[in-house]
A and B are shown apart, each in its own frame.
Chain A
């Protein structure tokens, strides 16, 4: 076994871990750093449940090796709320009942956050295409789209 030593920052905190070179970033987050908010729905980059922000880019953490995280800045769902204050996207997802089972929700939230950072006023089509890699089997996406639009509007007002 060839273990790799990695130092990185997760949600602003420095972390250090040893991982098998074959482990993905998702494996590392969940199994080594106890951050189980990112989920494995497919392991092949098709479902988006493992979405994280990696050096400022939205990625599927199942398609990044843990070893590649050396020096990286990583944002996960666990870092989205500010202490006890939920992010507007988190609030609106709850308020719009934009989740049923909730397994895709962390990935959707991270993806939506990345979208709003790039485009504070996305139209419906933009949101739908941006989220095409985040599968949700429960909701039919309707309430998710509305929640994101509502959160975007609120964030624009606050900004």
Chain B
């Protein structure tokens, strides 16, 4: 029995986990991260850094067509090439899969049709990279090219090419094109009645293009599988248990047959929450009987991993002259590539989540197109919603002559507000972020010519999920923690801080390891801003479990009740005078004797914490427009976000800054560009333009701490919310600088010039 108090393990009847308001000794400090030296010396091993004796190199053949029936694949010439050890096609994977497992299999290796430019159709393992590459050229694929569609609105039109018949879920509105596969509707009140109360109602159309997570490390793995059907997989992933589950399903073996070890991960942002190449490498390893290394090129990452959805949106908001929002409604159409599950329900649910609205309605459509299967990207679905909604709010403020922060404060959701997606909010921190933004010097700083300021709010849910942690004590009293969530952004440091806090020992005495799938219970993926929340909660609970055991040893030794022993400063102390007079027993002393006093000591946590609090942010940005070229420069940026409790403030700031930077890229320059032929035009960092160092200013941060009741220290997830406001904030700033609203992303220079021109023409 890991924990003796059942209600402590899960939410239980009382979900109020928040029990430590400080003061803290470790939490809130900024020590060096435990893996810092590994990361600055090149010693850290990422996905592509693994090698094995006898290793083969693999390469994947990909469809050059956006939509084509695969009539024939002849691999015989490739197989005959010297050095080629295995060739696989769809026939080498499991049959009879259903649901999302089938979708994922279909995505990683095409079946009857190639569904997008870059779709995998076969793979080769050979004794060198060059032979593998040469072998691809020898595989003959006969395609029947089909009409394609890559645009979300076009894909919904009558007559659009059908990606897959029968993919739609039941319950869709009548008359939908078969490419529309899911539908969401939610809200409350009577929006028409609400609009009737408004002094001004604005309805606008918005569009955003698909972007890519843009992690710098391409997908990479090293697979081994013996004739006994047992295998090992090393890969870069946000969630190795999920990789294990999916590989087992796609290969038709049991989960326990595959041990997955997560490498250091070179960025994910949601894009490494699923599989792309791992089952292919495993299939090649199984067929060849040799270790197989498979690394995506950057071009493959863009063409065939999971970018985000593009969106077409209509938003309508009513406001009174005093700034009161009376009603809001929105329609959000997202394409998620050639498969279902574009995150349109999150777009819909997040859209108006910042506001206290009596009348609100949102609809979402999930649309299939000939593009790669979308994957999660940092608060999936939410940033585009904020772009549309916060743009309309800004325009209403402008037209009514109202201050954008005051208006947002007036309408802000707070504890007790009925959320636009249904439930009533518990304690949340939106108002606090708005107040901090209003008080920030940035908000009142003067602006120059051709400069504009934008503000916007954003919302994301956050997530708990299955979590297992083991905290093992060494004979010398130092601590080894095994967690199951890959460290993407410094989470080892926050885990060690929380354990140090609980155990009262030095931060340096704690080593945090990311365990493989065979060494720890199941862990949900590092996504949904859950790591510091869920693994953190698990570390705290595991430390408390260990502490109880340490206390019991001291109590035994002293011959008193464990209740009469308390733990502080890394030692057991008699609790009060009645407990007796004993010298404190340090963790070091107890551990030195643990073998002889009852055996090894470890703390555990295995449960699904369900108290991830929602999170809000407010961003301020100043932009300068070159009116002659349409080029935008970001001059100043401030992120204000509720972190609940910042465990390692530097890494919290880092999440704020990183989300803002990605959002700026999405707003200004990043986009998937498809040609008439349905092929991706810009599959590289040259023309897929993520922000470079010289594109950005310093990014100021303000950490607001409104504790989350669902975590012992009040921690909220912080990783995702930071990308929600920037699209809107930058668009508002540019619109204010340009004097014309920009409603389509990215705001590339030519698009801004066209908007300026249209405005001049309109006036003339």
Contacts and interface: CB of A to CB of B under 8 A. Distances in A.
A and B touch in the complex (CB under 8 A): yes
A132 B129 CA distance: 30
A81 interface: yes
B41 A103 contact: no
Contact of B30 (A44, A80, A97): A97
B33 A140 contact: no
B128 A100 contact: no
B686 A94 contact: no
B657 A78 contact: no
Given A43-B298, A140-B657, A97 B267 contact: no
Given A44-B685, A138-B489, A141-B661, A90 B40 contact: yes
B489 A37 contact: no
B658 A100 contact: yes
A101 B217 contact: yes
A54 to B, nearest CB: 17
A61 interface: no
B531 to A, nearest CB: 12
B218 to A, nearest CB: 7
A138 B42 contact: no
B596 interface: no
B45 interface: yes
B71 to A, nearest CB: 33
Interface stretch (B182-190, B331-339, B513-521, B687-695): B687-695
Contacts of B41: 37, 77-78, 80-81, 86, 90
Given A77-B42, A127-B693, A137-B662, A41 B216 contact: yes
Contact of B698 (A37, A49, A76, A145): A145
A128 B661 CA distance: 14
A101 B696 contact: no
A136 interface: yes
A8 to B, nearest CB: 18
Contacts of A41: 216-218, 266, 298, 685
Contact of A137 (B46, B214, B298): B214
A79 B497 CA distance: 31
Contacts of A35: 42
Contact of A135 (B216, B295, B297, B488): B216
A137 B685 contact: no
Contact of B42 (A38, A40, A97): A38
Interface string B30-55: 10110111111111111011010000
Chain A contact residues (Cβ within 8 angstroms of B): what range?
35 or more
Contact of B40 (A27, A47, A94): A94
B663 to A, nearest CB: 10
B216 A142 contact: no
A145 to B, nearest CB: 7
A66 interface: no
A74 interface: no
Given A138-B658, A142-B699, A143-B654, A100 B217 contact: no
B14 to A, nearest CB: 35
B216 A105 contact: no
Contact of B33 (A22, A27, A94): A94
Interface in B609-651: 648, 650-651
B46 A39 contact: yes
Contacts of B49: 30, 36
Contacts of A101: 215-217, 264-268, 488-489
Given A44-B685, A140-B660, A100 B651 contact: yes
A10 interface: no
B686 A138 contact: no
B39 A42 contact: no
Interface string A130-158: 01111111111111110000000000000
B477 interface: no
A47 B692 CA distance: 9
Interface in B201-244: 213-218
A117 B690 CA distance: 28
B130 interface: yes
Contact of B696 (A42, A97, A140): A140
Interface in B246-297: 264-269, 295, 297
A41 B295 CA distance: 11
B694 A136 contact: no
Contacts of A140: 654, 657-658, 660-661, 691, 696, 699
A94 B693 contact: no
B297 A93 contact: no
A44 B684 contact: yes
Given A136-B693, A141-B693, 8 more contacts: A44-B685, A47-B298, A90-B40, A97-B648, A101-B217, A103-B267, A132-B693, A140-B660
14 contacts: A37-B41, A47-B216, A80-B40, A80-B41, A86-B37, A90-B41, A94-B40, A99-B490, A100-B490, A100-B655, A103-B216, A104-B266, A138-B488, A141-B696
The 9 closest A-B pairs by CB, nearest first: A37-B42, A103-B266, A140-B661, A97-B650, A102-B39, A140-B657, A94-B36, A46-B685, A100-B489
Interface of A: 1, 20, 22, 27, 30-31, 34-44, 46-47, 49, 76-78, 80-81, 86, 90, 93-97, 99-106, 109, 124-125, 127-129, 131-145
